[in-house]
Structure 1
Amino acid sequence: MSPGEVIRILATDADLGPNGEVTLSFPSPNPLFRFTKNGTLLVVGALDRESRDSYELVIKASDGGTPQRENFTTITVSITDINDNTPVFSASIYTNSILVKDAKEGAVVLTLSATDKDAGNNSLITYSFSEGASPYLSVDSETGAVTLTSDLADVTEDTTLELTAMAKDQGQPPLNSTAGVVIKLRVNTLTEGVVFENSSYNFRLPENQPMGTSVGAVKASAGGDHDVTYTLTTHTDLFSIDASGALTAKEPLDKETQDWYILEVEAVDTRVPPTSAVALVKVQVEDVNETPQFSNESYNVKIFSIAPYKSPVIQVKATDPDIGESGQLVYSLSAASDYFDIDHSTGEVFVVSVTALAGEEMALQVKATDPKGLFATTKVEVEVKGSASSSDIVIISINQAANIVEKKVAEMEESLGKALGWTVKVIDVSGSSGSNTHGHSGYRLSRGSSKSFISFISIDGEDVVSSEEVTEKLKSESVTVKAELEKLFGEGLQLEVEEEEGGPSTNQATVIALGVLLALSMLGLLLMVTFTIVKFRRIKKHQEDSYTESFDIGKPSNGYINTGMTTETETTESETSASETSERARSDSKSSQVVEPKKTVAHSVAGNGTVTNAHTSGEDREEMEIMGKDSKSSKVETNITDVGETSDNDFL
């Protein structure tokens, strides 16, 4: 894994093509982390475990489809410690005085104390003497306790032991620091001088306590009838000491400013000449959970009712003087809203849907809460202007990625306003893969795109400037507009005014026209189906009547045979039978009443396969039968085809 890489995260999408291409990002810009195109999480800022040892990151996975689909998850990044802090002693020099006659082997003379801000083995400290080792003293490597190795019976005169103590951590490589150790061995009790009861003192003081708060007390004695006075030699601006040795704070202390103070107190007796002693006092400032604070008591902002979902309204900011996890704030709305919501980590208030609030004002109360439950609130007054419509929106495109543009929305509004001479309000920013210019989910699409579409409206006083007028001015002042935007995004900026294919009025007319055509088409189809059903029933009834007459042999014929047509038949016995049959048919025809109805063509197929035609007449169609004398010896097939009412066949 390369330096700066944390982990590679894989997100999948079951769709194909652009709909299945997943991009990882953060819901809001993160100054310390970012994602590469292949989903690798990179560290791009300096991380200090001593300031913060872990990060909860909200990750967004979004596809390239329209509408864009998103999913969110959370990961925890723990910061691994490196040995970058040196152990720090609580004092630069440790001193004490011992009466030889009171000395006992193993007695603790003083205790060394050092701290290391690192973690784990990097913070484990061992103590030792690096210089000036003495046969009378030893130090515990773990606790730092300096003890006597004998009862000092061989010490016959006042002796001063000066040593150098070293505190070393166990990191790789190990780091160390040193402090001085001065031990005075006194033989003569009459001249022993002033001595502190303890060579060092440790006190704790909660932060932000009022002036005059007691820190602790030190005690020294001079023996006999001699008095002792105390003097504070360090941090006199923050602490004071009285004649009894009581220490007090002169002003409130802030742990976030400094969490340790090392004081030196000197005790002087009234001997002539006087003797003195110095004790070290370590004061630790303890953290007290403090209430967050907003930078403003209230905020006022104006938006338009056409603002889409996720359009930013305003970003509020609160600070917490606490350090570590106690200073991590969560933003929320005091009361749930159907119109607005807030990003819990950034404090950005955004639009859910404000169409119903057109022309109204709404007050939101935003709350910032720390992990221990302390919170602060601020008021956000939102005026929703309803004078703008989607037809007033103008769209321009520039050759910049959407995630770059969205970081500079405020500056871009100022630059466009300066060039156009109006107040500009950006409604939406989207990438080049977005197909809907007014339906984007506001600042959330195609962050990796190299081209961005910027939707905005212009306001002149209290009036919204029409898109036609804005577009015209964008074209006439294109040089000025481009120059202003290049100040934000650099040279080589490509600016285009996006012309929509058909504005809202054209689209509305198109919809109306299509609706009328559709209605007419449906009406025509209904009439055609109705007419077809009626005609089909008439034809079916007509055919049934025709078939009934054709096969009713006992019914006398009222038709006639056209003598101009001949019927050829092939018989198995004699051609004479066929002739007689034909002659009989002619005779019957002449004796019948002749009427001129529709003509019917009869195709007769004789036994030899010859097709003959005969015209018949009658109110209804009949089938002509050609019969020989001996029906068993002849074979005749007849097909009837209606050639009348040809107009009906156009529907069949």
Structure 2
Amino acid sequence: FLRKTGHQDWRWQALWWHHFFLLWTTIDGQTRYSIPEELKQGSVVGNLAKDLGLGLSDIFDRKLRVASEAGEQYFSVDAGKGELVVNDRIDREALCGQSASCVFPLQVVMENPLQLQRIEVEIKDVNDNAPSFLKSDHVIEIAESTVVGVRFPLESAEDPDVGSSGLKTYSLSKDDCFILKVKEIENGRKIPELVLNKSLDREKKAIHNLVLTAVDGGNPAKSGTSKITITVLDFNDNVPLFENTFYKIAVQENIANGSFLIKTKATDIDEGPNGEIEYSLGIHTPPAVLSLFHIDAVTGDIYLKRQLDHEDQASYRLDVSAKDKGFPKMEGHCSVQIDVLDVNDNAPEIVLTSKPASVPEDSRRGTVVALLSVRDLDAGNNGKVRLQLPKSSPFTLKPSFSNNYALVADGPLDRETFSGYNIEITATDSGSPPLSSKKTIPVTITDVNDNPPVFTQPSYNVYLKENGVPGSILYSVSASDLDFGENAKVSYSILDSKVQDVSVSSYVYMNSDNGSIYSMHSFDYEKLKVFQILVQAKDQGSPCLSSNATVHVFILDQNDNAPAVIYPSSAALGSLSHQRMTRSAKAGHLVTKVTAVDADSGHNAWISYRLAEATDSSLFTVNLYTGEVRTKRAVSEQDDSSQRLLIEIKDDGEPVQSSTVTVSIMVEDGLHEPILDLRQKAVEPSKKTGRITLYLILSLASVSVLSLVTFLILAVKCIRSSRSSGSCCMRRSDCDDYKNPNRNLQIQLNTDGPIKYVEVLGGDMLSQSQSFRSCMSPMSEYSDFTLIKPSSTTDFKEVISVLDASLPDSTWTFESQQVSRKHEYSNVQNIIAALTDKFSNLNGDPPFDNRTFSLSLEVKYKSPVKKNNVLFLPL
């Protein structure tokens, strides 16, 4: 191609490409490109990514895009190369008209983080328009008497191009009578004038045909022509003359339609019709101007026809013509400049440059929320705009450049308080009076996991009946989270802890979705009375937050245990107990004592005794509370020697549980020796009476001696250790009645955490290891003890076996599972009464109601030790 076109074509192409693609500059810190108009679609303007210091990956990651303030998208970004390319045909004349400079502003918006860059593209003019005349034919009538040198204004050509490509010169076809002069007026505008160079002679030539040519400065140059027809008229030798060749006026843009603007005046010294003047606007006045202004043909007054707008055009120039009515007509000309003054008639406009972004509630100060710009079409102070936000708004406006602003966070945000804001921005100009407009920008606050789940209460008390169905629901805890979405989704779990050295997960399990706690098996109050569950509520946020609560489970006793007879001991082996009594017994004689325990607690463990059946119901009575069997009257000779009693033992539960024991009493004459151990087998009736009597005498003597020795030893030890917490026998005054039931009973109220319990200790509280010291009961005619310990029958049998091995049968009688003397401590109700009285003195009000409080008196024991015929039971 270069070979065919030649050297000159090659040079022209090189200059053209250099003009198209290599002109770009950066001015005042902004990127500016220069391109010629009429570029093809897809033509490269410049490497935008490189000039902004961005990599190709940033174009995708930060979603780079180009926005035009004018609305038309003439440019776009090639995401693959980072180049700014032409998106549509660009006509500089349509964009900027006759303006000397044509700069197209663009905004480059990048997200993540949000950032705004401003670039400018200067549109260079290309000689794509030829000069043109409004009319292709122009007729001028000139009187032949017109003197040489008279000038006749011709129609100016219009060339939309500017600069070197704009209109440069005029030329006129050759004619001896006329020459062309070009007059340059304000703003560099050139007006061609036809000058009469030689006197006209109509008789020689009545019509002159001329061609006016307008040439621009392009390369190659373009031109336009207008045909001028000059008709030579006969005589009217005076041209109307205006008082001023140039008039100037300034009016406000809000002047009313039909208002008078200015008066032009011309005079003609001719007389008659040759001196009568008719005014009109110049023949080359554009139609848009003709629609705005009107001139009175007679007076020359100029009026406004339609509303002016400073923002549309700030100045108008009118050519006024004054023609006389002579023949030929003579015409005079003047120019009128009308400047339109700005009035504050445009309210400011707020334009969002970017879509408002969602803001996390933990955003720092200065986080960009949105980009916006403000514009006012007015000029001067009328176009100066200030922005204002509500005082309570946690946002502020940060100025950027050229009336661009960034809406940024300026205070702490809390989605739980406000999940979103409708930010009302007020724009006010500096006009008088000022105009304002408002723009509401919605901003959504996104949630951050900054709130842990909160239980409805820090701890829960659950009361559960024993013997429940496994898998039944115990309780449902609930926690709420002020956050939103995944951050507010709560799951529940049980934290691992120990209950009786066993993981709590073996007792209960929890539904992680709704917080319901279920039992793994049924509970037995006698084995487990209270335990606690540490539950946790955790949200699904990142990082997750959690909180804990404690569930205290109290097992409620049910009356599921019948009273168990622990004395007479023979009742544990069968249903019949054998006892003996002398026929000389008086009324109130203690025959025996029935002792029973109930593994339940509270009212369910309150035991009462009742004589259900008897061989002679008038002879015996059973104490309702102690179970003591005594004679109601003296035994007579008529009473049978064999008495049979059926004693019923009931608890106070609902439903009532009961058991029975049968006591067989042998009434014998002259029986004065101590009663032998009832666990020994009855002497066969067939044995000889003498041998029995001998055994009785020996037993009585042994018991008497042993009792005397034991009493003396205990008395000596009691005197020696009266000041210490060691072993000591109880005095008779302590055993005679129930006035001081807790003399040697130490009670300690423990408040370990939320669980309250009572410790009952024997003796002094100063030692960790105490001994329950006992001696012979003066109330009993036997030397017997009662073991007090709620335990299984198997455990008690083991204790009995130990005690049997350490004590002589003639000395001790083992009645039941309880170890105590047969005095007031054998009555559990009296111990409870003593405890109630003790607690009533603690901190004012009693900590429990004795109508519902149940006490489990547990004595932890070691193997009994016998020293000097005194039984020591270490606790």
Q: Structure 2 length normalisation: TM-score?
A: 0.35
- TM-score, scaled to structure 1: 0.45
Flag the structure with larger Rg. Answer: 2
Q: State the structure with bigger RCO (CA 8 A, min sep 6), 1 or 2.
A: 1
Q: Comparing both structures, which one devotes a greater share of its residues to helix?
A: 1
